Every structure is written in C-alpha cells, then in structure tokens.
Amino acid sequence: MTMEFGVQIGALGWSELRDVAQTAEALGVHTIYFPDHLIHEGPERNRMGLPAYDPMVQAAVTAEATKRVRIGHLVLCNLFRHPTVTARSLATLDELSGGRLVAGLGTGWTETEFRMAGIPLPDIGTRLRMLDEALICLLGLWGREPFTFEGEFYRLRDAEMLPRPVQRPHPPIVLGGGGRGLLRIAARHADVLNIISDIGRDGYISVPHAAKLVDDAFRAKVRFVREEAARLGRDPRAIRISNVAFTAAITDSPAATRATAESFAGMFGLPPDAIVRSPLFLIGTPEECVTELRRRARDWEVAEFVISFTGVDTMRTLAEKVLPHV
C-alpha cells in the first residue's frame, strides 16, 4: 500500500491558503491538517510571531476550495471547547466537505498560551481524563439517539446534535501525542495515532526532551499502543500510525544531506545519522527519502507521513518524486 501524504498548514492568509490547498489536492496530498493554537511557539518557548488563525475557519475555507482531499486538525485542543461545541463544529465541517473530515483531538500542551489567555491548564493526568471523556461525548453526540453522560468533567442529558456527520458511524478519530497516558486513550478510541515527543507534562517543546524521540523510542510507542489495544479487545491493526516531520529538507546530493543533518546534530545532541532517522525530520535526496520512508513503513508501521508546510516546492518534490515510490 502506498503511504498516504499529509500536510499541516499553519499561518497562511486566506487567498494563499486556497491556492496551496488546491495545489496540494492536485498533487495527490491525502489530508490537509491545521494546528490549534492561540500563539505559535517553537522549541524552548520561542514565539514565532505568526498569525494564529481559527482552525475551524481554515478547514471550512479549505473544504470550499477543494473537492477530494481530506481535511482535519493536528490537533484540536480539547480545553478550548466544550465537547458539544466541538461535535457541532466538526459535524458541520463534515457536511460542508461532503464527508471529508478527519477529527483530530489532543489534550493541549502549550503552557504559554494558557497563561496568556487566563485559561486554566490542569495537570496532564487531569487533561488526559478530560480528553477521554470528551471523545466519549463526541461519539455519543454523533449517534442517532439522545445521549446522556455523567462524567467527572462533562455531564450531558438527553443531548441531541444536528447536523450529524455525513460519515457513519463517525469521521475517523485522529489523536496526537506520545506519552503513555495518551497512547492508552488512543488504544481505546483512535483510528489514526500521530506520534510526537511527549511534551504534555513539560508544557513546551524542550529540545533535549524532543531529541529522545529516536528510532527505538518511536517503535516502542507503536508496540505499546498495539498491545494496549489488543488488551482492550480492539484489533490492534485498526490503528494507523502517522508520523509528522517538523523539518523536511530535500537535498541534491548525499553530501548536502550530511551537511544539513550536521546543522541540526549539535542542537539536538545527536549524531547526524540519528538526525536522518529521527521522526522529527526527513532529510535527504529524493532517493534517500524514499529509502528512509520505506524503512519507517516497515519498522515503525507508518501509514501516513505528514510535513509541516514551508513552501510549495518541498511539497511538490515529495508528492512527485518521493511518495509515489514508498
């Protein structure tokens, strides 16, 4: 099976977003994702000074501009919206797109934006329990019968939600994260698991912590979620594994690949060879990238590869010269 190709788009203005979305669709991109933040913050709390557009509006604009590509979020912050509001918005997007929504949700983690906005940020254990309940509510609200739920955080009584999603029984559920608590929730609920470094407890992207997500660590997370799903009675293969590369650099020679990897090696405290094999990166010539992604498909069971959008050229090269051969 050919690996599916996703693009996560952040701070594009509206006319550019439409153009990029249509280009992505023409190139055969499978899914366009949007992040959900009040500010864009890079490693070590570095504010990026980019506009943080409403991801529901971004998804709606993209749905109107395209016909086939799937549309979703990596990932919506559960703490920003009550599950009933999330359920309504996502069902609306599924109807608007003609059944192309993927429903991405996570705990929330960027401590800076919560402090800035005065929104409470509970400890990670509480956030995980809230996410688990929110997913139960989401699926219940999308059902055909009135939904009642008495949880620790959310209480619904004879709740009915119209519109319901076009996709039945519900749009695919995408969860993003890397800690064991999130992986346990993914084992219960997720159709797609996007594995990143475990940053929920820290509240920011710590470079030394992110550098721990190396080859063996990624495989261990996949193995853990599969085992947990089997323990719960789910088919462990029903969960598709997604890998997002926050830096994708297509080079023109092996020497350039080595030089690019070396430029990141010191920052992350890893040897260049480990940078090339890190889930955080995709660095190489088109041929080297094909080899590396085939390895990730084989060793990590990656079924979807996502890049952070940095320009049409990289997206085009991946779509035309790399992904068709994986």
CA angle 52, 278, 132 (to 5 degrees): 55
Share of the chain above pLDDT 70, in %: 100
Rg (CA), the chain: 19
Q: What is the DSSP letter of 47?
A: B
Query: Residue 84 has what pLDDT?
Result: 98
Q: Return d(Cα 130, Cα 18) in angstroms, integer.
A: 34
Can you give the pLDDT at residue 47? Answer: 87
Tell me the pLDDT tens digit for each residue of 232-267. 999 999 999 999 999 999 999 999 999 999 999 998
Phi first, then psi, for residue 9 (nearest 5°) are -110, 130
Report pLDDT digits (tens) over 7-45.
Answer: 999 999 999 999 999 999 999 999 999 999 999 998 888
CA distances from 184 to 5, 219, 324 (A): 25, 16, 33
| Mean pLDDT score of the chain | 96
**pLDDT value at 175 more than 70:** yes
Report how far apart, in Å, the C-alpha atoms of 176 and of each of 128, 139, 196, 305 are: 12, 18, 7, 13
pLDDT score recorded for residue 201: 79
Q: For residue 91, what pLDDT is reported?
A: 98
Least trusted range by pLDDT, from 178-182, 199-203, 321-325: 199-203
Q: How confident is the model at residue 1 (pLDDT cuts 50, 70, 90)?
A: low
Q: Name the region of 166 (left: φ>0; alpha: ψ -120 to 50; beta: rest).
A: alpha
Q: Would you state the pLDDT for residue 234?
A: 97
Render pLDDT for 90-115 as a digit per residue (tens, 0 to 9). Answer: 999 999 999 999 999 999 999 999 99
Best CA proximity match to 193, nearest among 263, 104, 308, 119: 104
* Residue range 188-207, pLDDT digits in tens: 999 999 999 888 778 888 88
Three-state DSSP state, 26: helix
The count of other CB atoms within 10 Å of the CB of residue 258 is: 18
